[in-house]
Amino acid sequence: MTSLRIGIVSISDRASQGIYPDKGLPALAEWLAQAIVTPYHLEQRLIGDEQRVIEQTLCELVDQQGCHLVLTTGGTGPALRDVTPEATLAVAHRVMPGFGEQMRQISLHYVPTAILSRQVGVIRGQSLILNLPGQPKSIKETLEGVRDEQGNIRVTGIFASVAYCLQLLDNPWLETDKAVVNSFRPKSAQPPSEP
């Protein structure tokens, strides 16, 4: 049985040049380690805000490394150097607009400038590619959702839908720690039986 492969990409001119430490990759890797209970292999990339480089990196992770899920962080705002959405759409076979809509919905609970975000979700082949915010706090909020004072989910995070999306794309089964994020699947969605 194929093991789950996840790619994470931090897109930042200054971090990729060593001007300051990258915070995106450590934040993503730490969150995934807490959230996913299924064994998985992680591929990490730190690159600059260059559309051609972003496109090449996404294609390499999906087409050559066989990543079933790719998460990017950074480069999704309106600044002239922010080209992550353009690069992601350029390599997409299908667009999944619900992911971007939900990310903005979550972020609007925290900052009014969430409407400036241009994050997208797409499918390339059988792989899901999602653009996440650049700040570690925002990454966590987007993935987990909005919680009330008692810790109950008020607005569902996007990762609750990732496992079922990957399943629909005939990818390996992904199980999450329900204390971090509760993956939603219809009752008919059963894990594959062991060979």
Per-residue pLDDT at 193 exceeds 70:
no
pTM of the model: 0.95
Q: pLDDT band for 151, please (50, 70, 90 cuts).
A: confident
The single-letter DSSP state of residue 195 is -
Among the listed residues 65, 63, 22, 29, the one whose alpha carbon sits nearest the alpha carbon of residue 46: 22
pLDDT, tens only, 136-146:
999 999 999 99
pLDDT on residue 139: 95
pLDDT on residue 53: 97
For 158-167, what is the mean pLDDT? 96
pLDDT on residue 194: 54
pLDDT on residue 189: 77
Per-residue pLDDT at 71 exceeds 60:
yes
For 46-56, what is the mean pLDDT? 96
Domain locations in the chain as residue ranges: 4-168
| 177 neighbors 37 (Cβ within 8 angstroms) | yes
| 127 neighbors 70 (Cβ within 8 angstroms) | yes
Per-residue pLDDT at 127 exceeds 60:
yes
C-alpha distances (whole Å) from 106 to each of 73, 142, 156 are 16, 6, 8
pLDDT on residue 1: 57
For 173-177, what is the mean pLDDT? 95
Q: pLDDT band for 152, please (50, 70, 90 cuts).
A: confident
Task: Report d(CA 6, CA 24) in Å as an integer.
Answer: 15
Q: What is the overall mean pLDDT for the chain?
A: 94
pLDDT on residue 191: 74
For 141-156, what is the mean pLDDT? 90
3-state helix, strand, coil in the chain (%, to 5): 35, 20, 40
Task: Report the CATH superfamily, name and number, of domain 4-168.
Answer: MoaB/Mog-like domain (3.40.980.10)
Highest mean pLDDT among 55-64, 106-115, 146-155: 55-64
For 15-39, what is the mean pLDDT? 94
Among the listed residues 145, 166, 128, the one whose alpha carbon sits nearest the alpha carbon of residue 31: 145
pLDDT on residue 18: 87
